[in-house]
Chain A
Amino acid sequence: MNVVADTVALDNINSHPIENAHSELQIVAPKDAINHYLKSLGTHRDFSIFNWKIVDLPVILYDKAEGFHIYRDIKAMEQGGTFTEVHHKIVHKDNIENGVTFDASITSLVVWQWIAMIVGIFFVLFAARKYKKSPLKAPKGIQNAVEALLLYLRNEIVYPNMPNRALANKYQHYFYALFIFILLMNLFGLLPGGHTATGAIGTTLGLALISLFVINITAIKQIGIGNYLKHLLGGAPWWLSFIMIPIEIISIFTKPFALTIRLFANMTAGHIVLLSLVGLIIMFQSLVMAPVSIAFSLFMMTLEVLVSVLQAYIFTILTAVFTNLAIGDHAEHSTAH
């Protein structure tokens, strides 16, 4: 009962923010605070860890009327006088309702992608250099980890799912890169101060688009354009073509779309649950909620580590499975699975 009484009392304080605000800190209602953090799950226009701003990021815009614009940072854009930012969206000053045609700014999520790339490249190149320097020595340290990971990916994802060894050896690098890149992006979101780049739908859409091209171009190269088009019939008799061909064409595009949504929704869902758990403290405004919130957050964080690895694995293996499906039975299958 005490908790309820405290909550009511604190709610009364916060519903009159101006009368009770003695400090310069702006007091907002708990719901607004949570909404604010929910919005900032997305992108920022500066790169900062916690509240420590490291660098402002450039703004790159394309507008139908104004053409390309590149500004050094968001302040330079405001001073430029043509565009302004309203609710995280860049709009034309004369037309505040609609956003600009195309906002290709470098955001904090892009920087986190770069960090994931650099870290991934560093680890793999480090291992590769060790092998070049002393190919006969037993691997140790990072080299061991990279070797174990790549061997696992090759034996469990690439070899069982590609129609033959030659093709598997040719395409294995794409799957390695995909797995390591997605895994690192997912895991960087769990570091304190980090952001999950895969929690933005643009990132996952880009990855899925690459997968779309890999799946279909591989299939066309392997079985020829004629067989690829024959595949669109799905093995049904010709008089069913008017219904089969649209379905098959849609299914070509739904596969990458499902990849996009799956990765994005899984990564975002975990963060929203974590935010809700932390939000419980802000909503109830009592010390009693803190241990509960921390316990559940710890559990969710552990689950997030599992989900990060699992989603990277699923994205990679589904790309491999879809490639195999698109090639179909035309290529020779290897017997060794």
Chain B
Amino acid sequence: MDLAFLAAGLGAGLSVFGAALGIGKLAAAALEAAARQPEIANKLQLTMIIAAAFIEGVALFACVICFILASK
């Protein structure tokens, strides 16, 4: 029971770590591209939000599993 809480906490932390790295990299790349070519900034933003949604989705899967572990 207590180990489940530990697993949930560690899992949530690790999944957030991965998602933060992913979204950080994505935003950095998008910003660089937008700075180089300001005219495509609008298009980039749309693509960036979609990609961020995918990354976030995977992280949320992990968080939901952690939540199920913790609320059992």
Binding site for B on A (CB under 8 A): 38, 156, 160, 258, 261-262, 265-266, 269, 310, 313-314, 317-318, 321
B60 near A262: Cβ-Cβ < 8 Å: yes
B46 near A156: Cβ-Cβ < 8 Å: yes
Which range holds the interface residue count of chain B? 10 to 19
Q: Which of B1-9, B21-29, B30-38, B48-56 contacts A (4 or more CB under 8 A)?
A: B48-56
Kindly count the residue-residue contacts between A and B in the assembled complex, taking CB atoms under 8 Å apart. 32
Chain A residues within an 8 Å CB radius of B49 = 310, 313-314, 317
| Bound-complex Cα distance A262 to B53 (A) | 8
A261 near B60: Cβ-Cβ < 8 Å: yes
Chain A residues within an 8 Å CB radius of B50 = 314, 317-318, 321
| Bound-complex Cα distance A269 to B16 (A) | 13
Chain A residues within an 8 Å CB radius of B61 = 258, 261
Chain B residues within an 8 Å CB radius of A160 = 46
7 nearest A-B residue pairs (beta carbon): A265-B60, A262-B57, A314-B53, A258-B57, A265-B64, A261-B60, A261-B61
Binding site for A on B (CB under 8 A): 46, 49-50, 53-54, 56-57, 60-61, 63-64, 71
Additional A-B contact list (9), CB under 8 Å, known A38-B71, A258-B61, A269-B60: A160-B46, A261-B57, A261-B61, A261-B64, A262-B56, A265-B64, A266-B60, A318-B50, A321-B50
A264 and chain B: residue at smallest CB distance: B64
Chain A residues within an 8 Å CB radius of B54 = 258
A32 CB to nearest chain B CB (Å): 14
Chain B residues within an 8 Å CB radius of A266 = 56, 60
A204 CB to nearest chain B CB (Å): 12
Chain B residues within an 8 Å CB radius of A261 = 57, 60-61, 64
A187 CB to nearest chain B CB (Å): 19
Chain A residues within an 8 Å CB radius of B46 = 156, 160, 317
